[in-house]
Structure 1
């Protein structure tokens, strides 16, 4: 993936581009390309606490899934956030009752004991930062929900039956 300014640095200035090649008689020039790439997603301004909430969610929900699976779960959180009132935080979304399985199983007081202690945690932190900065796009195509096939097997959970499947990444099925 190219950095945001890389493509612009490769482009010719407008005045040079108009003198770059003489027209060929009988062949129409192609239309100018003004904006070849969609704008990069905006980075999100979040608090340290919200960043930590996202990291811990990636750690517990998708820690063994690899970069794409971690990013997918991160985007589910952000997709949910985008559908909440403006003052809603990432932590608010994550700790909504019944939304993420790990919040029912892991006491908050035990979280400091795992922060930064493993490669799995470091991977979750790197991907969380990339998702928040807009460096990694949404591989779920706008999903706001997911479930684990390790938990449900080939059965679709009752709550997911009326949703549209958007992707399967690793052991998770993503829906909206």
Structure 2
């Protein structure tokens, strides 16, 4: 998706508890079609708007410092940020997300290097969402990251995050007669 392209949104009545917030949010906006794995780059001092490096990247969102964020308080964003689509593999397809991320880093190496050099005071993070497989009968969950992914991300100075979500919570929130506020 090119920058500036219209992105459809779908209004979802959800609880902010799904996002790890301590307050309910009655207006959580979500794209109809969203990236599973994303790269987020943040900087306290460098705006990403109109950066030529972003023209080639599949940008999902650019946030300016001070922009209103979601949530009841609508607190302004404290940093500049850009979110880039890395993979559309499903949450239960981590190996596919990892493969896509390696390909993404290799394909956009120069653009990412230039962008990350620009934000020396910032940081970048590859975020891999996945379903938690933990339950009463499961003691632990383990997922191995490929050495190639760790090497590529490390050479760019990127952090790697596995965001594990409890699938049953989303199933419960989707039931219309449940109230999580």
Report the TM-score range of the alignment, normalised by the length of the smaller protein.
under 0.3
Q: Which has more radius of gyration?
A: 1
Higher percent of residues as helix: 1
- TM-score for the superposition, normalised by structure 1: 0.22
- TM-score for the superposition, normalised by structure 2: 0.22
